[in-house]
Homo-oligomer: A and B are copies of this chain.
Amino acid sequence: MTTGVRRRMGVEERRQQLIGVALELFSRRSPDEVSIDEIASAAGISRPLVYHYFPGKLSLYEAALQRASDDLAARFVEPKEGPLGARLLRVMGRYFDFVDEHGPGFSALMRGGPAVGSSTTNALVDSVRQAAYVQILAHLDVTDPPARLDLVVRSWISLAESTALIWLDGRRIPREELQAQLVHDFAALAAVSAAYDEEMSALLRRILADEPADGPFADLVGQLIELAS
């Protein structure tokens, strides 16, 4: 019996440790630039032992991406309480926290790297978009979205992705401004759609009716009217 000797980890525990170490490295630098040697060294084990748990870098990358996807999807969950604009603004804060924490890995994934086009990574990216979509519809109290609402929600999700990517490229605009701007963008895209469609217009009126006069949606309308005058 010895003490001070590192405890042997079980298989699942070791896999989880490696995923955590890899995700940390993939988040700080583009995944193409991270080697298995580096992951082994950061985990304090040998390179062959990494291959014992993961057959190659792609499978470790996919496992790390799975953990990151679960993490991000969990941040979309927000209690259905209080005005919608304020709820969305809190989610945007947590979304930018995530983007900030995983910057280089997020950019590499979304801009298309060597592992993109793998059906697993594509499916994970889609699952996160779907989680966002489901959350937004739940907050809007809509179960069977008409085509125009579907378009507004899905295209806004893609706008949030591209806004985050552009922010990461130089961070030239304060993220707090972009978080609020995306909430406004949602209202603006919904308003444009409502200009074409009575169903969207009724939905938007219902949403705006519950917004406080000092909330982000009311802000926007005031500013647009001022701009138009």
Segment from A61-69, A93-101, A220-228 that makes contact with B: A220-228
Which residues of B sit under 8 angstroms from A205, Cβ to Cβ?
227
Assembled-state Cα–Cα distance A112/B185 (Å): 26
Q: Which residues of B contact A148 (CB under 8 A)?
A: 173
Bound-complex Cα distance A93 to B118 (A): 34
A2-10, A47-55, A82-90, A150-158 - interface stretch: A150-158
Residues of chain B contacted by A224 (CB below 8 angstroms): 191, 195, 221, 224-225, 228
Q: In the complex, which residues of chain B have a beta carbon less than 8 angstroms from the beta carbon of A147? A: 170, 172-173
Given A154-B166, A188-B192: A111 touches B122 (CB 8 Å cut-off) = yes
In the complex the two chains form, what is the Cα distance from A170 to B201 in whole Å? Answer: 23
B residues in contact with A154, CB < 8 Å: 162, 166
Q: Across the two chains, which residue of chain B brings its CB closest to A160?
A: B155
A163-B155, A193-B181 known; A225-B228 Cβ under 8 A: yes
Interface residue A21 (Cβ < 8 Å from any Cβ of B): no
Tell me whether A140 is interfacial, beta carbon within 8 Å: no
Q: Which residue of B lies closest to A184 (CB)?
A: B192
Which residues of chain A (86-122) have a CB below 8 Å from chain B?
A: 111-117, 122
What is the size, in residues, of chain A's interface with B at 8 Å between Cβ atoms? 50
| CB proximity to B under 8 Å, residues A160-204 | 161-163, 166-167, 170, 172-173, 177-178, 180-181, 184-185, 188-189, 191-196, 201, 204
A159 interface residue (CB < 8 Å to B): yes
- The answer to whether A162 and B173 touch (CB under 8 A), given A117-B116, A188-B189, A188-B192, is no
Contact sample, A vs B, 24 pairs, CB 8 Å cutoff: A112-B112, A112-B117, A112-B122, A113-B117, A147-B172, A148-B173, A151-B166, A151-B173, A154-B162, A154-B166, A155-B163, A158-B161, A177-B196, A181-B196, A191-B227, A194-B227, A195-B223, A195-B224, A208-B228, A224-B224, A224-B225, A224-B228, A225-B225, A225-B228
Kindly list the 7 A-B residue pairs having the minimum CB-CB distance in the complex, ordered from nearest. A158-B162, A147-B172, A188-B188, A195-B223, A117-B117, A221-B228, A184-B192
